[in-house]
Structure 1
């Protein structure tokens, strides 16, 4: 009776020891700057915005712009295929969800549908009316595009804001097309807003010198070319505000492998390196177009248009454009992080000062300490020695919760602290159920050993039911909640799972050891 297998004893002891080890970096953050740093894990619980202070930005991704761009790319793809097959068409109309193709002849409908199915597969939805085809993107395609858009945007934002991975940036999805960005410890968000204000789509286009700018300005732009504005800083170099460039990019920014700021003749420039494929394309481009201008376009503006003096075969080059050191550094960072697939709008901005964060930490610590002390005092008053065992388990419940949060590099907020305080109360609630059950068994005349065994066994189902219902409620909060509510739900769930271990397994091990050592004839409850 009241026996615990050796493997279970070792498991309980090991779990307690590993919890102490994992929680040390969080409880003693000064270890990170000491010689003991390598002896402990790097993972720890990070303080959230409301505890540490910092900047919070709610970002909205322009998904309509993204879908419009995808439709335009699709149109160009279809046009290219139609020309290859020598199928005539009059025009293409693009709306939010549809592409309308007006063919020159109704006889070409079947061949055009075949081309579209080859591009999109059987998911393409096509309606026909004489020589007109209406192509609509299936909902599954749009859903997949949107998921890719949000995932890619989130990753690029992270790389832009936290290239080194040391700023503890927190990114959370909010609804269908919004992202909550929180950067603890940041007091001035202006640099972040500049970094997010550009999509940073870089491309290289040959300048079309076959047309006069006056003609292009009047709408006489040759097919396959377009008019683009020059960046304000570059207009003085050319004496004009626009240039005509080839519509099709000769090289895109996604072929860059690195971008760094350097100084050339006293001016800041951005030195870039290309992938192996990009190097071959760039070498071929510069070899065949020596003497021509190459426009470097960033977000629809020409930031530089240098002349190609000789073939560039090394797979690298420089971007100059009257940059300051700061603007060159920012451009290099944007190019390294990659282009945003769609523009981002900042719809809400909030800054929390470090003094307010410090006040929140102090208030949170006071709440936890007060809760722990009061609970421990009541347990000791009502249950004596057994209450002290429950208090000992309560300490390990707190350590295990911190250790579990550390494993996930979780961010602790004020609602998270509230979840921890609630968990402490629920942890001793399990012990109260066990001890009260033991009391009832003693009153029935059972021996101390039998009363203890029955108390733990009979109370377990009640403890399990109550904790499962709480965990279910926490899961619902996590699914439907946002931000701080999710933090509360996660902390509460982890704390409850830890409390089931400490309140049942750990206290049972301690009481079983005490009983075998003391062999009391009466239980002081």
Structure 2
């Protein structure tokens, strides 16, 4: 009939039992039951005594393959009991995103307090301005690439906030060491940016390599996290170095202090 058919074969004992059954039920349907459900019911056309036969019908390649897989798989070794069933709706996703947004705000507030307490209102405030600029650049880059800010993306954004401040901490601590060593404010600032730059680039380079590996080999939420993190690494280096340097240079030129406020 030029249609797919399914071949089967029994062992010796099965061939005898199957032959007796088919001989006594010619013209009747033969139900194939798996886990209490009839998965096929072909009609017995003749006695099958040789231990092998075929199942014919209106099969397609897909339906025949599915039946073969069911026959080969056999029964489950243990019954499946449903202990709990839940329906996940869009409202749960919205709640998760709102929780992520709240976590971002809390993280930003914590960073702001830490920077102000550690380096004063001037240097801490400048790092917060650079941090805000970093967030704007991340959102702009994601909009340009058509990326969606999912919950894993928010996690990458929060991690980027900490990494951006880490660069400022390296720069400021180097400035503080240079200022405490007796160097002028201009020399201390220049040394702070130049000597901390190697460490900043090295740390962020390893991070972006890890993010690229996750993006290449990951899928779904992992790629969203990796993409946001990659954008954040690039923008954080830009804002922590360039934006902070421009703002501090403007303040230095305007006030011409004899001592940096962060020097102990």
Alignment TM class, shorter chain as reference: 0.5 to 0.7
2:225 equivalent to 1:488: yes
Q: Which residue of 1 aligns with 2:94?
A: 358
For residues 149 and 212 of structure 2, the distance between their equivalents in structure 1, rounded to whole angstroms, comes to 18
2:112 equivalent to 1:376: yes
For residues 372 and 398 of structure 1, the distance between their equivalents in structure 2, rounded to whole angstroms, comes to 10
Shift of 1:519: 0.4
For residues 206 and 87 of structure 2, the distance between their equivalents in structure 1, rounded to whole angstroms, comes to 37
Q: Which residue of 2 aligns with 1:457?
A: 194
Which of 183, 189, 214 is residue 446 of structure 1 equivalent to? 183
Deviations 1:398-430 (A, max 9, x none): 110000000011122111100000000000000
User: Relative to total residues, which structure has the larger helix share, 1 or 2?
Assistant: 2
Q: Which residue of 2 aligns with 1:394?
A: 131
Summarize the alignment of residues 51-450 of structure 1 with structure 2, pairs less than 5 Å apart: 352-384=88-120, 385-450=122-187
Deviations 1:236-295 (A, max 9, x none): xxxxxxxxxxxxxxxxxxxxxxxxxxxxxxxxxxxxxxxxxxxxxxxxxxxxxxxxxxxx
> Which structure's CA Rg is the greater one?
2
Q: Which residue of 2 aligns with 1:256?
A: none
For residues 88 and 195 of structure 2, the distance between their equivalents in structure 1, rounded to whole angstroms, comes to 50
Shift of 1:386: 0.4
Q: Which residue of 2 aligns with 1:517?
A: 254
Deviations 1:304-344 (A, max 9, x none): xxxxxxxxxxxxxxxxxxxxxxxxxxxxxxxxxxxxxxxxx
Count of residue pairs the alignment pairs up:
179
Q: Where do 4+ consecutive residues of structure 1 move more than 2 Å? A: none
Which of 208, 216, 223 is residue 471 of structure 1 equivalent to? 208
2:237 equivalent to 1:508: no
- Checking the alignment, whether the CA contact within 8 Å between 2:97 and 2:150 is kept in structure 1 is no
Shift of 1:455: 0.5
For residues 358 and 524 of structure 1, the distance between their equivalents in structure 2, rounded to whole angstroms, comes to 44
For residues 147 and 188 of structure 2, the distance between their equivalents in structure 1, rounded to whole angstroms, comes to 41
For residues 224 and 124 of structure 2, the distance between their equivalents in structure 1, rounded to whole angstroms, comes to 30
Shift of 1:352: 4.3
Q: TM-score, normalised by structure 1?
A: 0.33
Shift of 1:362: 1.5
Any gaps of 5 or more consecutive residues in structure 2? 1-57, 61-85
User: Relative to total residues, which structure has the larger strand share, 1 or 2?
Assistant: 1
Q: Which residue of 2 aligns with 1:143?
A: none
For residues 395 and 431 of structure 1, the distance between their equivalents in structure 2, rounded to whole angstroms, comes to 13
Q: Which residue of 2 aligns with 1:345?
A: none
For residues 478 and 352 of structure 1, the distance between their equivalents in structure 2, rounded to whole angstroms, comes to 27
For residues 200 and 88 of structure 2, the distance between their equivalents in structure 1, rounded to whole angstroms, comes to 40
Deviations 1:3-32 (A, max 9, x none): xxxxxxxxxxxxxxxxxxxxxxxxxxxxxx
For residues 417 and 370 of structure 1, the distance between their equivalents in structure 2, rounded to whole angstroms, comes to 13
Deviations 1:56-83 (A, max 9, x none): xxxxxxxxxxxxxxxxxxxxxxxxxxxx
For residues 219 and 190 of structure 2, the distance between their equivalents in structure 1, rounded to whole angstroms, comes to 43
Shift of 1:354: 2.2
- Name the SS of the counterpart of 1:495 in structure 2: helix
For residues 151 and 93 of structure 2, the distance between their equivalents in structure 1, rounded to whole angstroms, comes to 10
Q: Which residue of 2 aligns with 1:129?
A: none
- Checking the alignment, whether the CA contact within 8 Å between 2:127 and 2:165 is kept in structure 1 is yes
